[in-house]
Amino acid sequence: MSKYKKVTILVPVYNEERTIKEVLEKAKQALLPHGLEKEIIVIDDGSRDSSRKKLSEISGIQILSHDRNQGKGAAIKTGLRHATGDIILIQDADLEYNPEDYPVVLQPILSGFVEFVMGSRFLCETPRFFSKNGAPFFSHFIGNWIIIRLTNFLYGPNMTDYEGGYKAFTASLACSIPVEANGFEFDNELICKSIKCGYKIAEVPIRYKPRLYTEGKKINWRDGIVILWTILKWHFKRF
């Protein structure tokens, strides 16, 4: 019998009026293994569109708000302070990732193998480019390749994807590791510090449906530079 009883799903939101209702309905309906209890905490990170209004119309969730936009990492940290689950799972507020993958993401933790799981988009298939139905972001693929190679080289694991949207980790791990980052680099800082602290990380395949910038995609090349600096910094810096 698993020692874990509850999963807290953290959903950082910034200007996601087009997708937030559908994402949260999918998250609410998604089945969890082992009879786990589910807690959904949504953190509105200073949205300027109708996201906050739409959130107020959804039942069965806890809503936290920032008065101004502070970044994805800041939203996650706010959510962590209110989380009561034994396991934390990060859910993006768009439709790039499918909540039906929750059991796959959670299973390595529930089995007692690890305390940190990353969803990998590249374990399912390698994206193809320059064709009619090819993936839209070749530059992102190159950026991901650099991030993957640098992290593997500096920290030791042989992972295939550090930027996949699904991350799950135990609440005890989150409490033991201080994270400074407030932006998209939050994940990378947590990963790097977890490895340095001796935590093992598992990878599982997840489905991925990329959206375009016209559809609300936000991460850009500037965030990529900050992520690379974060990976380098925590290789040398103590915490």
Q: Is residue 33 part of a domain?
A: yes
Residues 201 and 169 sit within 8 Å (Cβ to Cβ): no
Question: Burial code of 129-139, b = ≥16 C-beta within 10 A, e = fewer?
Answer: eeeeeebebee
DSSP 7: E
Q: Is residue 142 part of a domain?
A: yes
Q: Is residue 125 part of a domain?
A: yes
Q: What are phi and psi of 80, to 5 degrees?
A: -60, -35
Tens digits of residue pLDDT in 43-93: 999 999 999 999 999 999 999 999 999 999 999 999 999 999 999 999 999
- Residue 181, pLDDT score: 97
Tens digits of residue pLDDT in 144-202: 899 999 999 999 889 999 998 899 999 999 999 999 999 999 999 999 999 999 999 99
Give the contacts of 133 (CB within 8 A, at least 6 positions apart).
none
In this structure, the chain runs to a length of: 239
Domain count, the chain: 1
Query: Residues of the chain with pLDDT > 70: what percent?
Result: 90
- Residue 87, pLDDT score: 98
Q: State if pTM tops 0.75.
A: yes
- Angle formed at CA 194 by CA 189 and CA 198, multiple of 5 degrees: 150
Which domain covers residue 28, as residue numbers?
Answer: 6-236
- Share of the chain residues as helix, strand and coil, in percent rounded to the nearest 5: 40, 15, 45
Residue 203 bridge partners (DSSP) = 118
CATH number at residue 17: 3.90.550.10
Q: Is residue 122 part of a domain?
A: yes
Q: Is residue 188 part of a domain?
A: yes
Look up residue 54 and give its two tokens.
């739409």
Q: Is residue 1 part of a domain?
A: no
For the cut 50, the answer to whether the pLDDT of residue 33 exceeds it is yes
